[in-house]
Structure 1
Amino acid sequence: MCLIILNKNGVNFNRQKLTAVKAELISVNADEILIVAPYVCTMQKKIVYVLVLMSCCVLGITGLQLYWNYQNYQTTVRNYQTAANNALDQAVNRERKLRQEEIISKVRHWLADTSFINIECNINNRDSNTVFTIQDVHPRFLEDTARKVKFFQVGLSKFTQKLRKITPAAKAIFIDHFAKNILKEDIKDGSIYYYTQGLGDSITQAFDENKLNKHRLSNLYQKELRLKEIYSPFQLNPTTIPSKGFFQTSKVNASLKAPFEIQLVWASLENPNNYYLKEMKWLIVTSLLLIGITLFCFYYTIKTLFNQHQLVALKDQFISNMTHELHTPLASIQITAEALQKFAPDPATRENYLNIILYQTQKLTALTQEILSNAKLDSLGFSKADQIAINDLILAVTTELKLADNINLKYAPNAISSTFKGNQTHLSRALSNILENAVKYNTSAAPVIEIKIKEYQKGIEIQIADNGAGIADEFKEKVFDQFYRISTGNVHDIKGYGLGLSYVKKVIDQHQGTIKILDNHPNGTIFLINLPY
């Protein structure tokens, strides 16, 4: 970690001081570990508590939504079935009343027909009410010849006269009273009373002939369903057994002679589940959307928490690495400065010590400059006013790299005359970072770096390939995250801070470009950069 400074004679300079500095650095590192470890454990516990609490909330909200939807589904289906049954009851009653009115209308006609029924009236004594009688004009049996049915004026408030002979007005009042109050109640109960043989036979025949009108019942049922806001198609008394996709109403007796005769009617409608989905589809969609948003927010929050936790760990690792990098030059500067202060070295040794101080100071300056560049890029961005020629840019960047030993650099400039606007300083530094990484992390004895550029319609493509160990697929996106370094346990043989590729990504993004990592065959990595004009 610290440099051992030797004088010209090879004598170990200030060995005790150097040992003390090493011990100090080690102790500082241990303190950092002791401080960071409880903090990380506390953060993990807090994240677990938050996740448990959020999970309970999300499960509760989702459970309530599902329970509410289920209850709403049951209520809707139950109301649908009840409404369909009630609508059929009401439609059958209305259709039955229409048939009853038709029979009553016929009876009115028969009573008014003097060739069929004879209606007479009389009073028994001065104080008695008018008594009406009806009799068949043409009795069918001999015993009915002298048979007359008497009707007393009971509750006939409109008729107050005392008559011994029927009049047209009195006959009309009697027929109306007979139809509305007597015959209607008889028919309503399903009964047929033989007031006269002919009238009774005619009413019986009318009952038999007046069958259920299914077409009329269907129209009435449809109207009743519409009043209940049900628009489902239906069938009355379907000939085939309804499948599971349909709902069958309760059976209703539609016979005029009910309860003495049975004529069942029922309806087959679409399944309540289909009706529920049609009627409540927007409510269901909204509910599912809310559940989906809640689950997405839960997932996003968990992801953010883990990302934050990972970022904290990366920052801790960065601080630990940076602490080592700062302590090393500072310790060297301190030791060298104390040597200059306490001893009187000869000019050559003094010059050597000053060079050490200058070198370590430059190292600190470069380190802080790299951190400040990243911070400035995050907050302020940069201008892109330079006209950049890509060949000149790459030649300038590779100049220093060519000076290094054992580097086989392959680059043949293309005849690209087009220029684009950008920031030459930041682009140069970004390309330098990629090239330096290609050398730094290359385990080959003879590093090979190949640079290719080509022009396409909308911009320029830059390929930087090396023959190093390569980057696993799982890390190809993560290496662009700030502070991220590929995990090798607690051992980092190669110094780094996790800032280089993060800086590269930010610079390319500022130029509205793209960068991605590909595999180089048989081994190594390709950085593919696209910069638009």
Structure 2
Amino acid sequence: MKRKYIYILIGLITSALIGLVAIQIYWINSAITLKEDGFRNDVTNSLIAVAQKIEKLETINRVKKHQHGQAIFKKRANTIRESFNTKNETSYDTSTVFEENGVKYKISERQQKQSDQVLYQKSIQSVSDKGQFGFQFSMGSKNNFNIENSYSDSIYNYKENEKSILIDEILESLYEMNRFREIKERVENIAIDSLIKEELANRGIKTEFVFGIFDYDGNDVLRDDTLKNTHNIRMSGYWAQLFPNDVFDTPHFLSIFFPHKTGFLLKSMWMMLLSSIVLLLIIIWAFTFTIQTIFKQKKLSEIKNDFINNMTHELKTPISTISLACEALNDKDICADDKIKHNYVGMIHQENKRLGVLVERVLKSATWDKTDLKLNKENFDFHEILKNVIDNITIQITSKNGKIQQKLNATNTLLKADKVHIINLVYNLLDNANKYSPNKPEITVSTANSRDGIVLSIADNGVGIKKENLTKIFEKFYRVPTGDIHNVKGFGLGLNYVKAIVDKHQGEIKVISELGKGTTFQIYLPFDSN
């Protein structure tokens, strides 16, 4: 896939992801707003219910104080009823005066015997600051059929009058009480707190709150003693008027504030929020993984193409040499000369061997990073094999007018490791130092003991490596980009092999490089990797 199409695909996926995230955030915000509106309605309804209960409780308490007035109705009515039951022919004249609940009562009864009948008279009078009321009736023994009707009418009128007086007294008492009492005397903190908790709990709101009572100008007239600042309560937006039926009094408002409202709302929505966040994270992770996979595949494709180009370049020379040698051997004149023939056969053998080595290196690279790579460990002197490798490569270095310097300072040089792989490791590092130092290579090989092992350092004055490429040089088939120029032979397997061998021996490798000034490889190998 071309890089342009990859970027277009990434742009489309990114746009879709951003849009999806934006929609998700908008949906979550809308859900939170809806939850806040429901919370506000529940709190407002709770405060209104609290205000109504407070007003009802106050009214009930005042009415209870006048309940004993009901005894007046029963007591006086019984008096009338009993008077009608007294039907004898005795003459008498009685009068009773008493006062009850601020009302003066006078009951008069008179019975007089006449020639042919008994005349009965009775009157009841009540006097209060509301006015005066009274009634009187009389009947004879010949008119007994009218007694019950007169009795009922009398009782009814009397009760209606007494009820009117009682209701007037209650209303006046409520008005006078509310008119002269302050709000602090009419409500109590404990009662309000209990009522608010009850109403909020009935609506599923169980979180900490503080409340206060304010007048029309916003001054707090009643609040919790532990509160120093009531600004948050006053500005919370949750309020209800206390005693809304008071016509002439200054209005007071009950306001409430929730310090942990946001936490309560989020807690009530945690399942929805958690699922949304998890889904978003999964989508973002999948998007990131997809992009990484695309770039990784693109990188592998580029590495594959570079490997094919390098492999073609490496194989081209021996194949061409073998081809020319074979053509030469087909010439009868050359075949007649045994010396020339032997040279060409030796050339074919040498190039064929070189091809075999190249193919073997490629095939073996597949097992370098596998756990089943077995090491044949043995004890050997590290300095000894190091000097042998240096001697073998010195010819190549001196051919470029270069030099190699040795600083073998390690005193304990006995290693237990795979000798063959260690030799190849050192050779690869020295070969790279020589190849990437185009003009008069200056290579320094040094050793030292550290942490129960040996530290090998190989420094050169070559082209160096860019910082962005340092983390990639140990990847298989990776070569530092040089465009289409292939003046340095290789497959990008050498450093990958070095890293694999160091890891198998439980060692460490470090690279220090500066572009244009050279590179230093530092390798730590333990005396015994077991």
* Normalised TM-score (structure 1): 0.72
Asked if 2 retains the 8 angstrom alpha-carbon contact of 1:449 and 1:465, the reply is yes
Distance 1:445 1:403, change over 3 A: closer
Aligned residues of 1:111 and 1:117 also touching (Cα < 8 A): yes
Select the residue among 329, 339, 347 that pairs with 1:356. 347
Match of 2:406 among 379, 390, 410: 410
Distance 1:246 1:321, change over 3 A: farther
Superposition map of 1:182-201 within 5 A: 195=166, 198=169, 200-201=171-172
Counterpart among 360, 363, 366 of residue 375 in structure 1: 366
Q: Conserved in 1, the CA contact under 8 Å of 2:466 and 2:514?
A: no
Q: Which amino acid aligns with 1:232?
A: E
Judging by fraction of residues, say which structure has more strand: 2
Secondary structure at 1:495's aligned position in 2? coil
Q: Which has the higher contact order (CA 8 A, sep 6+)?
A: 1
| Deviation, structure 1 residue 489 | 1.9
Q: Does 2:186 align with 1:211?
A: yes
- The alignment status of 1:431 with 2:430, answered yes or no, reads no
* Residue 221 of structure 2 corresponds to residue 237 of structure 1: no
Q: Which moved more, 1:251-260 or 1:97-106?
A: 251-260
**Which secondary structure state, in structure 2, belongs to the residue aligned with residue 409 of structure 1?**
strand
Aligned twin of 1:295 = 284
- SS in structure 2 opposite 1:456? coil
Once the 2 structures are TM-superposed, how far is the Cα of residue 434 of structure 1 from its aligned partner?
0.9
Give 1:319 deviation, angstroms: 0.3
Find the counterpart in structure 2 of residue 495 from structure 1. Answer: 489
Q: Contact 2:43–2:200 at 8 Å: present in 1 too?
A: yes
2:77 is matched by which residue type in structure 1? E
> What is the alpha-carbon distance in structure 2 between the residues aligned to residue 251 and residue 245 of structure 1?
12
Equivalent residue number for residue 88 of structure 1: 47
Structure 1 equivalent of residue 305 of structure 2? 316
2:201 is the alignment partner of 1:226: yes
Instruction: Indicate the SS of the match to 1:344.
Output: helix
Q: Distance in 1 between matches of 2:484 and 2:516?
A: 29
Q: Check the 8 A contact 1:318/1:497 in 2, yes or no.
A: yes
Alignment-derived partner of residue 395 in structure 1: 387
Shift of 1:72: 1.6
Give the aligned residue type for 1:212: V
**Unaligned ranges ≥5, structure 2:** 85-99, 105-125, 136-147, 215-219, 221-228
Q: Distance in 2 between matches of 1:419 and 1:225?
A: 79
Q: Secondary structure at the match of 2:446?
A: strand
Under a length normalisation based on structure 2, what TM-score does the superposition of the two structures give?
Answer: 0.73
Equivalent in the alignment of 1:17 = none
Q: 2:523 aligns with which of 513, 520, 529?
A: 529
SS at match of 1:480: coil
- Whether the aligned pair in 2 keeps the contact of 1:444 and 1:467 (CA below 8 Å) is no
The residue identity in structure 2 corresponding to 1:466 is: D
State the distance in 2 between where 1:56 and 1:494 align: 43
Distance in structure 2 (CA, Å) of the matches to 1:391 and 1:117: 127
Match of residue 145 from structure 1: 132
Question: In 2 relative to 1, CA 142–475 (structure 1 residues): closer, same or farther, beyond 3 Å?
Answer: closer
Q: Offset at 1:392?
A: 4.0
Q: Does the aligned pair in 2 maintain the 1:246–1:269 contact within 8 Å? A: no
Q: CA shift at 1:88, angstroms? A: 1.0
1:356-385 C-alpha deviation (Å, 9 max, x unpaired): 212211221221122112122245641134
* Residue in 2 that maps onto 1:26: none
- Equivalent residues in 2 for 1:250-269, closer than 5 Å: 250-255=239-244, 257=246, 262-269=251-258
The answer on whether the counterparts of 2:242 and 2:254 sit within 8 Å (CA) in structure 1 is: yes
Q: Which residue of 1 aligns with 2:77?
A: 120
**TM-aligned CA deviation for residue 56 of structure 1:** 4.4
2:24 alignment partner AA = Q
What does 1:41-60 correspond to in 2, within 5 Å? 42-44=1-3, 47-48=6-7, 50-60=9-19
What's the counterpart of residue 61 of structure 1?
A: 20
Q: Say if 2:464 and 2:515, in contact at 8 Å, map to a contact too.
A: no
The CA deviation at 1:494 is 1.7
Corresponding position: 1:419 with 2:415: yes
2:207 and 2:258 in contact (8 A); partners too: no
Distance 1:529 1:417 in 2: 14
CA distance in 2, matches of 1:343, 1:259: 137
Deviation at 1:316, TM superposition (A): 0.6
- In 1, Cα distance between equivalents of 2:509 and 2:439: 25
Give the CA deviation at 1:341: 2.2
Residues 113-170 of structure 1 deviation map (CA, whole Å, 9 limit, x = unaligned): x6x99753669xx9xxxxxxx995247757723269xxxxxxxxxxxx99959xxxx9
Q: 1:238-279 CA deviation, whole Å, 9 max, x = no partner?
A: 636634996321433434546987443222333754543454
**In structure 1, what is the Cα distance between the partners aligned to 2:252 and 2:374?**
91
Deviation by residue 1:43-64 (Cα, 9 ceiling, x = unmatched)? 4465346424533442343233
Rounded to whole Å, the distance in 2 between the matches of 1:71 and 1:194 is 59
How many percent identity over aligned positions? 23
Name the amino acid aligned to 1:362.
K
The letter of the residue matching 1:213 is E
Find the residue that maps to 2:34 and give its secondary structure. helix
* Aligned match of 1:365: 356
User: Which residue matches 2:34?
Assistant: 75
| Separation (CA, whole Å) in 1 of partners of 2:13 and 2:422 | 44
- The answer to whether the 8 Å contact 1:450/1:465 transfers is yes
Structure 2 SS opposite 1:518:
strand
Secondary structure of the 1:72 match is helix
> Is the counterpart of residue 478 in structure 1 residue 485 in structure 2?
no
Larger radius of gyration: 2
Contact 1:247 1:270 in 2 (8 A): no
Count of aligned residue pairs for this structure pair = 447
**Does the 8 Å CA contact 2:444/2:458 hold for their aligned counterparts?**
yes
Q: 1:102 Cα deviation (Å)? A: 1.5
Distance in 2 (alpha carbons) for counterparts of 1:399 and 1:248 = 90
